[in-house]
Structure 1
Amino acid sequence: MMSARVGLSSVTRRVAFAPIIGRNQIALRTVIPKRGVQIQSLPSSASEEILNAQRLKRPSSPHFTIYQPQLTWLSSIANRATGGALSALLYGFSLAYLVAPGTFDSAHIVEFVAGLPDYVKYTGKIILAAPFTFHFWNGLRHLSWDTGKFLSLKGAYRAGYAVLGATAVSTVALVLM
């Protein structure tokens, strides 16, 4: 006896029982015209100009108008500024000594400073001592971070306040010498 399978094939079932929405989407895709996208060729210099224009609109980092000032990034900025200022001072004095060694030798500098009023001497000492001591103590803080210490938020702030305190004490000590 031969048995015949009665029913619809799988493809016929899918088409017959597919939701009407699915069948209509296929019809709509062919009816709705596709939008064309206009493109244009640009020389390589134009792409650089577009990129530079986009860069001008980007915010600086950290974005000063959004974020509240924090000790960690303020001390980072101050560390870079003091390092740059101290380097510029050292290189400037070294170049001046190379150009005119008779004018910038120790005897002439001591003689010049001795003739200044006391308030100018103390102001000059503060201007030189504060960046030097801050950069020194903050450098030690960075070295401690390299060893894995004070890396938590609480530790970073404690170390930051310690740097500020040590800077104040050592600046006063250097000025009073």
Structure 2
Amino acid sequence: MSFIARPGLLRCGLAAPLRTAPRAVASRIPALRRGVQTNPISEKQQYELLNQQRMNRPNSPHLEIYQPQLTWYLSGLHRITGVALGGLFYVGALAYCLHPLYPAIDSTHLISLVHDLPTWVKVTGKTLIAFPLSFHSFNGLRHLMWDTGKGLSMKGVYASGYAVLAASVATTLYLVFGI
């Protein structure tokens, strides 16, 4: 049994100060009151005042004030290649689904279309497909390595970043030119 809840203490009056009502305690403490005057303004004036106050706010740091780092370049490139590959996947799936309505989207027609293109267009197209695919794949493996807790030091992050770039370029050259 706790010290305060003992029946003897409650009967003798030692615990009486603990049972003081909160309102009684609050009324003994002087409250500081400050009057604020407000003027009614129209809704248009409210928006103008709000816009003036927003103009005086400090701007949050922008990318322009930071020194470019390999880590955030690769992070942004990983996101961009992921979106591009996802969009390419959806376009391909949509073309496959629309094949019954538009039979011109056929592998025979696509092969003859690509065959008639100039070489520089084929190389550019292959590169635009091969680099994002290889970079996103290798950088995804890098992220999986990080999930295991390996290579998380700054030296490891930069080493794996340069390794991803080198592997992506080598794979792109192999896929485009067969080197």
TM range (shorter): 0.5 to 0.7
User: Which residue is equivalent to 2:14?
Assistant: none
Q: How does 1:101-120 map to 2 (within 5 A)?
A: 101=100, 102-120=103-121
Structure 2 equivalent of residue 127 of structure 1: 128
Q: What is the alpha-carbon distance in structure 2 between the residues aligned to residue 139 and residue 111 of structure 1?
A: 34
Superposed CA RMSD: 3.3
TM-score (norm 1): 0.67
Instruction: Give me the whole-angstrom Cα distance separating, in 2, the residues matched to 1:40 and 1:97.
Output: 65
Give the aligned partner of residue 96 of structure 1.
95
Larger Rg: 1
Which residue in the other structure is 1:59 paired with? Answer: 60
Task: Report the Cα distance in structure 2 between the residues aligned to 1:70 and 1:89, rounded to whole angstroms.
Answer: 29
Name stretches of at least 5 consecutive residues in structure 1 with no aligned partner. Answer: 1-33
The alignment of Structure 1 onto Structure 2 pairs a total of residues equal to 139
Give me the whole-angstrom Cα distance separating, in 2, the residues matched to 1:57 and 1:85: 35
Aligned: 1:172 with 2:173? yes
- Residues 160 and 98 (structure 1 numbering): CA distance in 2 closer, same or farther, change over 3 Å? same
Instruction: Report the CA distance between 1:65 and its aligned residue.
Output: 1.8
Distance in 1 between residues matched to 2:166 and 2:151, nearest whole Å: 17
Between the aligned partners of 1:142 and 1:82, the Cα distance in structure 2 is: 15
The whole-number CA distance in structure 2 between the counterparts of 1:39 and 1:88 is: 54
Q: How big is the shift at 1:38? A: 3.7
Kindly tell me: are residues 162 and 108 of structure 1, through their superposed partners in 2, closer, same or farther at Cα, counting changes over 3 Å? same
Counterparts of 2:71 and 2:60, CA distance in 1: 20
Q: SS state of the match for residue 111, structure 1?
A: helix
| Deviation (angstroms), 1:104 | 2.1
Inter-partner Cα distance in structure 1 for 2:39 and 2:59? 26
Amino acid at match of 1:82: T
SS of match in other structure, 1:65: helix
Q: What is the rounded CA distance, in whole Å, between the counterparts of 1:107 and 1:57 in structure 2?
A: 60
Matches within 5 A, 1:59-78: 59=60, 63-78=62-77
State the identity %. Answer: 49
- SS of equivalent residue, structure 2 residue 63: coil
In 1, distance between residues paired with 2:64 and 2:37?
38
In 2: Cα distance, 1:104 partner to 1:165 partner: 36
Aligned counterparts of 2:37 and 2:65: Cα–Cα separation in 1? 38
